[in-house]
A and B are shown apart, each in its own frame.
Chain A
Amino acid sequence: MNVIVFIKQVPGTTNVRMDPATGAMLRDPSDTVLNPLDEHAITEAAKIKDGQPGTVVTALTMGPPSAVKALQEACARGADQGVLLSHKAFAGSDTIATSRALAAAVRKLGPVDLILAGEKSIDGETGQVGPMTAAMLELPAVTFVRRLNLEGGRIRVQRLVEDGVEELAVTLPALVTVVRDINNPPLPSLRRYVMAKKMTFPVWGPEELGLKETDTGLKASPTRVVKVFSPKFARSTAIFRADGEAGLDASVQAVIDLLRTKEILKKGGA
């Protein structure tokens, strides 16, 4: 089987800054990790490989040259190889432009049986790139998956939806996005880390993907960030200081009084 896993390098902390002029994310290039949900996707691919010898797992990412780190991490966790989509023409890609590049890379990699991806990244948090890429490749998009079993040319999956669990049988090829319930990613061995650190990966730009530069990046992105701001949600706040025993009592009484006004607590009483 050919399994491709979409991965993303994300900031290691949530304290990323944004350039107020351009809306571009300002990242400290040294502080990055593999998107946590992608660890689950890679782990699932490795599980499939265990049950299906001869399976090749390819990690695919788009990002700056430093995203090689995320590919190495993916290989330490079970991917056999990786491909990096990196070129200045990709800069400023929104989810549509990113998906177009990923779809072109999947086509170039040859017939695929299964694409796995984390349900969303912790930085963008859109969850759009998986289903968009599936649509561009005319594959079914099976999202929010918490269990996956291979049954011949099909997969049987459980999708975690708001009010329960849907069970589906899906004919391959298909794209599956996973939620964290699906598995517990084990820590890779030191040996695998050492091996992965030595791996190198092909780097593809628009030319290798058969895309015009105008088909990628900001120019090919239908959405534009027009404003970035710190929101103002402020209400007029009644402030109580819980200093000392008296302050604490007065504060608690103020909360109880408000709960009464809102009829959360019955009126009257003490």
Chain B
Amino acid sequence: MEQNSNGIMVLAEVRGGAIHPVTREMVAWGRKLAGQFSRPVTCVIIGIDPDDPEDLIRYGADRVLSVNPGFTGNSPATPTAGLFVDVIREERPAIVIAPATTSGRTLMPIAAARLNTGLTADCTDLAIDPKDGLLLQTRPAIGGNVMATIKTPNTLPQMATVRPRSIRPLQPDSARRGQVLVKTYEMPDSWPEQLLSFIRDERKEINLEEAEIVVTGGKGMKTKENFALLEDLAAALGAGLGATRAAVEAGWAPFTRQVGLTGKTVAPKVYIAAGVSGKIQHLAGMITSETIIAVNEDPEAQMVKVADLAVIGDAPAVVEKLTKALIHLKNKRKGGA
């Protein structure tokens, strides 16, 4: 698998029979890695017949490969991974990336094991080493206290799952042209898993990952009662409410609210971190936020350093005061306007 393998393959995220927008982020990563090397970026879609495959070309792909499009949308891992391995073997890419979603985190390790090559999980940054052309795969390590850069020096392809929201999609370019191809591989008659049903989560609460503004609390909120003050702040702002791992472990918030490497990744317009020290494990889940506001007692806290605006002071007191001011403004607007 040496000479003619220089392409970059990107696995499309398929959910509910359609291509999920995180795929555009993966294509943006592919484009970035292709960079100066004019390597082709191929986006592979497994098992569905996409409505608009050209969308991915407008967002930066050179080729869109639809693999066994009629097969099934929400397919079990065994046959999907089988097709994934087939297409990698035929295409011989140098690099394969996929989003670090439940699907990517299942299919990629199966494929890497079958191809006997390396895989790095949950990367937050990818680059090409100018010295040897190898993929530099960077991820938070050991509980998120440091970053590690990993290489796959001797085997191909070099594989990585990448955190959603670690890059922004490119601006779509309607003038971009590329190839849309269909590939069909032979499949076994049966496999061990059968999908019986899918129950969509219909909860109405603000989806953290899609919120325009996110308010997150950490151990600096000091007590569970203080942590509850953040609910009022989030309500006043129409924000999603997040929590650090420490706050979740303290029982102040459920795991579904956790932001960070082990939890959700967010990239809102404004991220307010109240009493959050800013361990790398947490930063990995929010560092691409457009604007970061930190409230912390400790001026040396990592979160203060990464913030655009930092308030040095007692987090619960500042949160309470800010909430009151926002409610006051809202009432005034209602009364005055």
Give me the interface of A with B, judged by CB distance under 8 Å: 11, 14-18, 23, 25, 94-96, 99, 122-123, 125-136, 139-144, 156, 159-171, 174, 180, 221-231, 233-243, 247-249, 251-256, 258-259, 262, 264-266, 269-270
B197 at the interface (CB under 8 A from A): yes
Taking CB as reference atom, which chain B residue is nearest A173?
B192
Closest approach, in angstroms, between the C-beta of B143 and any C-beta of chain A? 3
Stretch at the interface among B47-55, B86-94, B148-156, B169-177: B148-156
- A33 vs chain B, min Cβ distance (A): 13
A residues within 8 A CB of B16? 163
Which residues of B line the A interface, CB within 8 A? 15-16, 74, 76-78, 81, 101-103, 105-106, 108-114, 116-122, 136-137, 141-155, 191-201, 212-213, 237, 255, 261-262, 269-270, 272, 279-281, 283, 287, 290-294, 299, 304-314, 317-318, 321-322, 325-326, 328-329, 332-333, 336
* Cross-chain contact of A262 among B142, B191, B270, B294 (Cβ < 8 A): B270
Please give, as numbers and ranges, the residues of chain B lying within 8 Å of A258 by CB-CB distance: 270, 291, 293, 308-309
Assuming the contacts A141-B106, A167-B195, A265-B329, asked whether A122 and B143 have C-beta atoms less than 8 A apart, the reply is: yes
Q: Is there contact, CB below 8 Å, between A238 and B309?
A: yes
- What is the bound-complex CA distance between A222 and B157, given in angstroms? 11
* In the bound complex, CA of A96 to CA of B109 (Å): 9
Question: Which of B15, B151, B237, B312 makes the CB contact (< 8 A) with A239?
Answer: B312
Name the distance in Å between B180's Cβ and chain A's nearest Cβ. 27
- Of B114, B149, B261, B287, the most chain A CB neighbours within 10 A belong to B149
In the bound complex, how far is the Cα of B270 from the Cα of A57, in angstroms?
A: 49
Whether B74 lies near A166 (C-beta < 8 A) is yes
Establish whether residues B322 and A255, one from each chain, have CB atoms under 8 Å apart when the complex forms.
Answer: yes
Assembly CA distance A264 to B118 (angstroms): 43
| Residue in B closest to A13 when the chains form the complex, CB atoms | B143
The distance from the CB of A114 to the nearest CB of chain B, in whole angstroms, is: 12
Give A22 Cβ to nearest chain B Cβ, in Å. 11
Question: How many angstroms from the CA of A135 to the CA of B149 in the assembled complex?
Answer: 26
Interface pair A14/B281, CB less than 8 Å apart: yes
Q: Are B109 and A135 in contact (CB under 8 A)?
A: yes
New contact pairs (15) apart from A126-B120, A141-B77, A227-B148, CB-CB < 8 Å: A96-B118, A127-B109, A131-B77, A132-B109, A135-B81, A163-B15, A163-B201, A221-B118, A230-B146, A233-B283, A234-B305, A238-B310, A242-B312, A249-B321, A256-B322
